[in-house]
Amino acid sequence: MINYARQDSEAQPEVTPPPADDHIAPAPRVSVQAFCETVETAAAVQAAGEDRRLGKAHLKIQMGGMAAASEAYRSAPTPNVIILETEARSDILAGLDQLATVCDPGTRVVVIGRVNDVTLYRELVRRGVSDYVIAPVNALDVVRSICGLFSAPEAKAVGRIIAVVGAKGGVGASTVAHNVAWAIARDLALDSVVADLDLAFGTAGL
């Protein structure tokens, strides 16, 4: 007689491999500024900045949380991504409402908090928060959150297309296009590409 109970007890449990992180698409050339309240979160964000998938991102870390963020952007433009760490639940919504008065349109906000609550998450989404991450976080959590903002199908493109059209040849459209691309690369420190669609008589390749 076969002892099924013995076989079941000796059966090895199926081990699920840890999720791979290779599918995380790299972030484009964006500016990211983090306002942390704990040294542990600041260290995780700093380690995330060394990840190859954030190689094009310009990352800056500052302590002080939401209060420091609101004060910093009163007289300065906001970056592409703001990471905010908050300790208390009561400070999250009030801090976001204050930050909204100085935040530029199009800036994505990631909140790192310690409250795991669906109601709070819905309130954050209603206020325009792009992602909410439960603390404590590691470097991979930060990388996944930032890269996910730009790899999602509904995410808005970061780049812009500027078209320069001339009424006829020789009016200087190519010169304007070259100088605009050069100014973007020099003044904004962004990658720029000049594409001349006049395949027959274009001067971009000269």
117 and 49 within one domain:
yes
- The pLDDT of residue 60 is 92
Residue 62 lies in a domain: yes
pLDDT beyond 80 at 110: yes
Cβ atoms of residues 66 and 86 within 8 Å: yes
Nearest to 24 by CA among 145, 186, 128: 145
Residue 12 lies in a domain: no
pLDDT band at 28 (very low <50, low <70, confident <90, very high): confident
Supply the mean pLDDT for the chain.
81
Nearest to 53 by CA among 18, 23, 85: 23
CATH of residue 134's domain is 3.40.50.2300
pLDDT band at 2 (very low <50, low <70, confident <90, very high): very low
Rounded CA-CA distance 203/205 in Å is 5
Long-range contacts of 175-181 (CB under 8 A, 24+ apart): 177/204, 178/204
What one-character DSSP code corresponds to residue 84?
Answer: E
Cβ atoms of residues 62 and 72 within 8 Å: yes
pLDDT beyond 80 at 75: yes
Rounded CA-CA distance 136/58 in Å is 23
122 and 80 within one domain:
yes
Q: What is the mean pLDDT of residues 77-92?
A: 84
137 and 81 within one domain:
yes
Pick 189 or 64 by higher pLDDT: 64
141 and 118 within one domain:
yes
pLDDT beyond 80 at 18: no
| Domain total of the chain | 2
142 and 170 within one domain:
no
180 and 83 within one domain:
no
Point out the least confidently predicted range of 85-89, 101-105, 156-160.
Answer: 156-160
Residue 51 lies in a domain: yes
Residue 136 lies in a domain: yes
107 and 53 within one domain:
yes
41 and 95 within one domain:
yes
- The pLDDT of residue 22 is 54
> Domain residues for 58?
31-151
Rounded CA-CA distance 37/86 in Å is 7
Residue 130 lies in a domain: yes
139 and 66 within one domain:
yes
Residue 185 lies in a domain: yes
pLDDT band at 25 (very low <50, low <70, confident <90, very high): confident
Cβ atoms of residues 60 and 33 within 8 Å: yes
186 and 87 within one domain:
no
pLDDT beyond 60 at 9: no
Residue 64 lies in a domain: yes
Condensed to tens digits (0 to 9), the pLDDT of residues 113-165 reads 988 888 888 888 888 899 999 989 999 999 999 998 887 655 555 567 888 88
Residue 45 lies in a domain: yes
